[in-house]
Amino acid sequence: MYILYNKFPIACVIATLVCLSTVECRTKYQVCVVDGRGSFRKAAKFCPVLDGPDSKVECVIGLDRLDCLRRISKGKADFSVFSAEDLVTASNLQVEVLVTNEMRYTNDEFEYEVVAVVDDEARIQTRYDLRDKRLCHPGYGYEADWTQILANYLEVSTVPQSCNPLLSLTENRISSSSKYFKSACKAGPWVNDRALDSQLKRKYPNLCGLCNSPGVCSTDDKYWGRSGPLLCLTDGVGDITWARLDDVRSHFGLTPGSSLASTEGYSYLCEDGTTIPLNSTTKPCVWVVKPWPVVASKRTSAQEIQEFISSLSHSDNNSWQSALLNLIETYHLTIKAVQPIEAIESYLSRAQGFLSANSFPGCHPPRTIRICTTTNLENAKCSWLREVSNVYGIEPDVDCLKADNKTHCMQGVADNLADVVAVSADMVNEAKMSYKLKTLFYETVANEEEKYVTVAVVRANSGITSFEGLRGKRACFPKYDGVAWNSVVHALNSKQLLTTCPFNQGMSEFFSDSCVPNFPTNGSPNLQVLCKPGIYDEEYGAMRCLTHENGDVAFVSKQAYSTFFQDIKEKRDAFIDARDYTILCENNDEPCHLSWAPPGQAMIRMNSSTLWIKDTLDVFLQMDNLFGKNFKSVTTPFTLFGLFDGKPNVLFHDVTSKLRDVPKLKNTDTMQKEYSEILDNFGECVPGGSSTAYMCNFYMCIIMCVLLLFKF
């Protein structure tokens, strides 16, 4: 009995642990919810309903759809809703989930099917007859629903693609279509850089020639969008159109509703070299299909999740079941169980053309942009970014390389072992001067508070009211050759307050004992006297240097100044009071800051070719357009600027609003003292400004005057 008695609790513990690891024993399923934009922001309204005691499900808030995918793979959520593109990304990254249910809003087998319709008078019988014909294309600018992969499928599978090394990959594709078709209407942005977009449209005008406003060729054109290419065809402007089958049926009156054109004289063009009259009872031939959004879960719980999802209904609008449906639906849906439950690859293989559309070979040798990362987390985010970019047709491809730190990354870019490294504002000058790198793009921000604004912080009762008043004082810097250091050097030099050159010597003589971490070891020793390694390093270290009363002034970002005292307040440090410190403002008629910079920027080799820069910049601008803060879809597949796996500032800064090749988010930004301008116009060291120097110059002038008088 003793043995049985002791074994029983052990068995219970084991059984309990096994039970807790399975969905059956949980009190609630966990649905990963990605909040949409506008009217699709539903989590705050419906997730609390799921907290009720009768509910069988609870919300886990995902940052984006691929974040939900990772959560499911790690057992931190049970199910979520994914697009077909999300499933391709999961498959490429070998993340295993099973497809349990389709989220349909019609009874059609697929969300939509894409067809080619020709004007019979054009005498097009096969795809090879399309040469020198007129193409009506949906255009670009609504990639959330119509990805580049699907938009370009007809041309990529029909038009011989060139790989001219003197052209970017995007221009190669455009050039190939321009040579192949007599004319076309491909309205909307071809690339995300407006200047380059205009340049390409001027170079290949025949691809806008069929548009209603060929000189503009924009998303406002009559022949742009889902209905545009069908109007282009039936207005007699083009010979072939590339469009969704449901739009074709509506346009030609093949489904109940309005009819804009007769089916007479039009046919479907098939991939197999045949045509089918539009008014035929034969099933239309489809080139590529888009699968429905789906519910997916881990293998161990797939059967339960399918049965659970299939049981939901809106029979009671106040129920938790209805709340859950409102969370996972985009529109009022028909939920269809996938029978049998399928792995991603087999599910997508039933979608004609979809996988092959995502696997067209590129140019050889392949063009790849190598991004240098410094942590496992950065490298992981980069890998997910690479795969989701491929699915949405962004080219060239991205590759992710890992180094130990930013210094090694900068050296790797300089040595052509990598192509792009993202650096903070503090490392920009080092990247330029030590590794001969230059800026590809800036991480621009919407608010002044989010900029890296450098200020001088002093004690409120110090009596220091000007930069001249800092002479002989003890200074605390975050690091040598960073934003603060260079901004102070520039400011003092511009005001002619440095009495000695070069700059390092001048700064040493201007300030007394100070702390400048990483100051050159062969430099002035007084600039390292106050330093305490690991304590006074970086911005918070500079603030500690000041507040510990070792320094008289700290040069830090305005944000670090604010958050430092906020952190002190939360820690209830009674010895430090924010009211005892202030920002030095020399002249209230001028900005009080020393400089401002965007939080980060991407650096490339100084000798990078113009062609490569255009290609590479467009890749990041496309990523920004699809995955940045202004994404067009209801929910975002991937978060470019924001938390990644719960960690902030991975690869890019969370506060970034938009990537641009200039440091300002808007051209109307008039904030003075931009850091890159300061670096570009640093100027030579000009000694002068001290009273001693002034008196010496005064007496020298008198001596010269006396000598001249004696001469004459």
Per-residue confidence at 193, pLDDT binned at 50, 70, 90? confident
Q: How far apart are CA 403 and CA 605, in angstroms?
A: 17
Helical ranges in 208-319 per DSSP H: 228-234, 245-251, 302-310
Strand order in the sheet with 57-61: 57-61, 29-33, 79-82, 294-297, 98-104, 334-343
State the pLDDT at residue 11. Answer: 44
CB neighbour burial string for 371-380, b if at least 16 within 10 angstroms, e if fewer: bbbbeeebbb
Q: What pLDDT digit, counting tens, does each position of 242-287 carry?
A: 999 999 999 999 988 778 899 999 999 999 999 999 999 899 999 9
- Would the CA dihedral through 605, 607, 610, 612 be positive or negative? negative
What is the tens place of the pLDDT at every residue in 63-93? 999 999 999 999 999 999 999 999 999 999 9
Q: Kindly report, residue by residue over 111-170, the tens digit of the pLDDT.
A: 999 999 999 999 999 999 999 999 999 999 887 678 888 999 999 999 998 889 899 888
Least confident of 608-617, 666-675, 699-708: 699-708
Cα–chain center distance at 205: 31
pLDDT at 4: 38
Give the residue extent of every domain in the chain.
29-101+303-333, 112-290, 369-447+603-677, 452-597
Q: Is 144 annotated as a binding residue?
A: yes
Contact between residue 685 and residue 692 where contact means Cβ atoms under 8 Å apart: no
Query: Does pLDDT of 697 surpass 80?
Result: no
Q: Could you check whether 112-290 and 369-447+603-677 share the same CATH topology? A: yes
Percent of the chain residues past pLDDT 90, beyond the cut: 76
Cα–Cα distance measured from residue 364 to residue 378, given in angstroms and rounded to the nearest whole number: 28
Is residue 442 part of an annotated ligand binding site? no
| Residue 29 marked as a ligand binder | no
- Say what the pLDDT of residue 331 is: 77
Instruction: Tell me which of 3.40.190.10, 3.40.50.2300, 3.30.2350.10, 3.30.1300.10 is the CATH number of domain 369-447+603-677.
Output: 3.40.190.10
Task: Specify whether domain 112-290 bears CATH 3.40.50.620.
Answer: no
- Please report the pLDDT score of residue 576 as a whole number: 84
Q: Determine the pLDDT at residue 99.
A: 98
The confidence score (pLDDT) of residue 5 equals: 40
On whether 452 is known to bind a ligand per the annotation, the reply is: yes
Residue 17 binned pLDDT confidence (cut-offs 50, 70, 90): very low
SS (H, E, C) 535-595: CCCHHHHHHHHHHCCCCCEEEEEHHHHHHHHHHHHHCCCCCCCHHHEEECCCCCCCCCCCE
Report the distance separating Cα 396 and Cα 419, nearest Å. 13
Q: Which amino acid is at 192?
A: N
The CATH classification number of 452-597 equals: 3.40.190.10
| Mean of the per-residue pLDDT values of the chain | 90
Distance from C-alpha of 89 to C-alpha of 84, rounded to nearest angstrom: 9
At residue 6 the predicted structure's pLDDT band, cuts being 50, 70 and 90, is very low
Give me the DSSP letters along 251-266.
HTTSSSS---S-STTE
